[in-house]
Amino acid sequence: MSAPPHTSEIPRVTEREARRVAEAAREQDWRRPSFAKELFLGRFRLDLIHPHPLPPPDDVRRGEEFLARLRAFCETRVDGALIEREAKIPDEVINGLKELGALGMKIDTKYGGLGLTQVYYNKALALVGSASPSLGALLSAHQSIGVPQPLKIFGTQEQKDTFLPRLARTDISAFLLTEPDVGSDPARLATSAVPEGDDYVLDGVKLWTTNGVVADLLVVMARVPESEGHQGGITAFVVEADSPGITVENRNAFMGLRGIENGVTRFHRVRVPAAHRIGPEGAGLKIALTTLNTGRLSLPAMCVGAGKWSLKIAREWSAVREQWGRPVARHEAVGAKISFIAATTFALEAVVDLSSQMADENRNDIRIEAALAKLYGSEMGCLIADELVQIRGGRGFETADSLAARGERAVPAEQLLRDLRINRIFEGSTEIMHLLIAREAVDAHLKVAGDLIDPDKPLSAKARAGANAAGFYARWLPGLVAGPGQLPRTYGEFHPAGHPDLSAHLRYVERSARKLARSTFYAMSRWQGRMETKQGFLGRIVDIGAELFAMSAACVRAELLRTSGDHGREAYQLADAFCHQSRIRAEELFTRLWSNTDDLDRRVVDGVLAGTYTWLEEGVVDPSGDGPWIADATPGASTKENLHRPIR
């Protein structure tokens, strides 16, 4: 039987169709409580995160034992400077990690993995990432978004038995979604998977395939055309990387993470058994988003590691570097930066550990918490690295090799800044994370009043929505007027004798959560169907929520450390400093909700796109090379050398 003709042209979709695809992919229901969801609704549910959840002792023992082995490996066998210099992770390092079991950190022991918790997986990534961010990226891409995680959640038992033992010990995996002209808008996905007998035939091109150059197994998202017996849609497949018709056409090079094996992969008539499809047809995006619910925690985990190292370097350097008769740390301008690094690192670790422990317990829905952790960690991590470079001065701008060549300590501060910068872009850019989190934050409103602002809904649906909304808001709005944050002795256990008063910060969080919810409601009433276009406003709403979540996590972690007798007084000091800094940022964001340049910015953008200001571009030369803005991704046989090199 001949196969139906395939097309890998980029689908032409309207803005509304693109939103429909994204909406269909998101998890619709909230079966478990969510601290962050409640926070955006103006309800400060401290009981969902306090007392701080703790891992079982056996998980701690196994996790700490592995961290000790991993630390020894990183200290003796990983040369981060060599990886940076040669832009490649040595094969013997990757093979050493395989022998250590690091490929199977999150894979169950019955499949040959280590079965670590999310908490200890993140601690391991922070440790490895401090030795080499590229190595951390390899392990994260393999386990956080690569083949193991979607198989763990959606795979059949046969698929788990077939692939997980390989992935735990020998095989590296990669996740292939992005295409040359398809980024955060998956409705335009062009790679096709056409049913043919008991197989699917894949055609298309994937871009920025982290681990793709060295991978043994791939998760590939491709569009199955709708046909008789096939509902079609974007679908996930496990694909053997050495299958005939797969060509790694390029190994990409970047500003940072120079050791990552990231490439361009072409599929030409690649046959994939139907048994290797993950989940049903059309479930690919839902699988990807669900995988990322916890997978996103790996990025902020490595930002925590970066913060810890930055604090160490800032402390050591600023104590010995003297200017005007005193160490630079004693000058207020530098001291403020050191305080920011210390306090923010404490808060980032609090956010990641709390979110990870909640993921391990599986009591709460953490889709918003994980997204906030990724957003906040990537943004604050970059600020920490930038402040470290500033503290180091000219030496911060100088490469580690150059410092060593002239006899000084080889501190790769500028490399850290370059390596961390990508975190604000991949696994959901900051702008996309704002929209994703904002959509979840207003979900309760859309459930009761969405039909009121949907122009496509009939009057009967709007009438029903109006009745539902009236009932919901009659119950919800009165709760936003007053709350425990206005009572001076609320959360008193967070003000133990001899410690800073964290209860005042929690009362601020409670009051601010109600204020945030009131602001959101007012904006929805004001803009209604145009709310989704107010991306500046929505971004600030989310950023306020991130600050409130981070303050909550920092206070809860400080109290945990105090009651466990582990640096409690110092933890309270760091949490207090962070909350004061965070409150200033939150207040500025509240002001900017209604006092901003959003409308003016839109007019300027209109002028830029219309060519009104091209005179401003005169007086320079453009060093860019020739070529199209977006490479041609027309399906067909590859004409390039295959750069795929599996590591054995």
* Strand pairing report for 262-273 and 246-251: antiparallel
Tokens of 628: 């199209």
What is the three-class DSSP state of 207? strand
Instruction: Please compute Rg for the chain using Cα positions.
Output: 25
Here the contacts of 262-265 (C-beta below 8 Å, separation 24 or greater) are: 262/208, 262/209, 262/210, 262/211, 262/212, 262/213, 263/209, 263/212, 263/213, 263/643, 264/180, 264/205, 264/206, 264/207, 264/209, 264/631, 265/176, 265/205, 265/206, 265/209, 265/212, 265/218
How far apart CA 79 and CA 73 sit, in angstroms, is 11
Residues 140/302, Cβ–Cβ less than 8 Å: yes
What is the three-class DSSP state of 109? helix
* Residue 80, amino acid: G
Q: Catalytic residue at 587?
A: no
Tokens of 436: 């994703």
Q: 330: closest CA among 373, 242, 391? A: 391
Instruction: Annotate 449-466 with DSSP letters as a single string.
Output: HHHHH-TTS-HHHHHHHH
How far apart CA 385 and CA 414 sit, in angstroms, is 8
Q: Report how far Cα 394 is from the mean position of its chain's Cα atoms.
A: 31
* Strand pairing report for 217-224 and 233-240: antiparallel
Tokens of 348: 């980032």
Residues 124/74, Cβ–Cβ less than 8 Å: no
DSSP H or E run through 249: strand 246-251
How far apart CA 30 and CA 371 sit, in angstroms, is 16
How far apart CA 443 and CA 450 sit, in angstroms, is 9
Question: What are the angstrom distances between the C-alpha of 328 and each of 64, 68, 325, 409?
Answer: 37, 35, 9, 18
Those residues whose C-beta lies under 8 Å from the C-beta of residue 385, and which sit 6 or more positions away, are 306, 310, 413, 416, 417, 420
Q: What is the dihedral of CA 265, 266, 269, 274, to 10 degrees?
A: 30
How far apart CA 518 and CA 526 sit, in angstroms, is 12
Cis-peptide, bond into residue 500, ω within 30° of zero = no
Instruction: Annotate 370-433 with DSSP letters as a single string.
Output: HHHHHHHHHHHHHHHHHHHHHHHTHHHHS-HHHHHHTTS----HHHHHHHHHGGGTTTS-HHHH
Residues 111/104, Cβ–Cβ less than 8 Å: yes
Tokens of 330: 């004693």
DSSP H or E run through 193: strand 192-196
How far apart CA 305 and CA 58 sit, in angstroms, is 24
How far apart CA 424 and CA 373 sit, in angstroms, is 12
Catalytic residue among 281, 398, 427, 510: 427
Which positions are annotated as active-site residues? 427
